[in-house]
Amino acid sequence: MIVLIDIGNTNTHIGLSNGKKIIKRFEIQTARWFNDKSEYRNLFPQKIESAIIASVVPKSIPRVVSIIKSNYNFSPFILKYSNAPIKFNYPHPKTLGADRIANCIAALHIYGAPSIVVDFGTAVTIDIINADGLFEGGVILPGINLMTAYLSEKTALLPEVKLRNFKKPYGKNTEQAILAGLNTGFSGMIDTIIKTVMSEMNFKKPFIIATGSYAEKIAKQMRFFTHRDKNLTLMGLLVAYNNLKNLSEK
């Protein structure tokens, strides 16, 4: 069994794979990695052969590597731009988050090029793979939770509202007004970015893939998406793992 570990700012998504597909997935809070190491003895099945990590929390990497070494007696692969099975038309790829790289690996190897990947996480990332299969660039903006938390934190009267479906373009009270902004406004913003990217890149029929925590709730309201794939990041890790394993065996 191979363990795929996607460490985000809020949650860590974990996939268990047989090398071809994801058998099981679950998540833990990223803060948990900094608890007592002994609690991780039973986190994974006892018979795991290897692992790969993508992290946007740099201090978590040595911690998780240490936990895996001490509990499972092997060293995991770490996904980096330099070992990723994708090429970059980008001046400083080492500045890219490993989750964005994993998303693009999966988009290219599973769906094809050109592609646009939208990851609805703590932050929303929109990444572009050009017609030649190269990472071209991207867009970053605040996610739903950040937007609602900021509204509540920085205003005296506005409540923090949890996202739920709201079909009207405006509200009859404060909560509905915020929900209208989250649903109509947020999806409209993403649609506009995608439309502008497609025009700039001269994309005719790109693969447009939604992933991340809010992909199901937001992407289904939007007209551009061709696929919704909750396992995209983990599948990118699996593709990268198999590539690194093959290279290490040569």
Cα 6-185-208 angle, rounded to 5 deg: 45
Going 60 to 135 to 228 to 48, the CA torsion angle's sign is negative
Return all residues near 119 (Cβ < 8 A) that are at least 6 apart: 99, 100, 103, 125, 126, 127, 211, 212, 215, 232, 233
Exposure on the CB side of residue 74, measured as CA atoms within 13 A:
12
Catalytic residue among 6, 99, 127, 229: 99
Q: In whole angstroms, how far apart are CA 146 and each of 49, 61, 142, 183?
A: 37, 24, 6, 15
Contact in structure between 232 and 107 (CB atoms under 8 Å): yes
Asked if 132 is an active-site residue, the reply is no
Cα torsion 99, 104, 107, 110 to 10°: value is -90
Active-site annotation, residues: 99
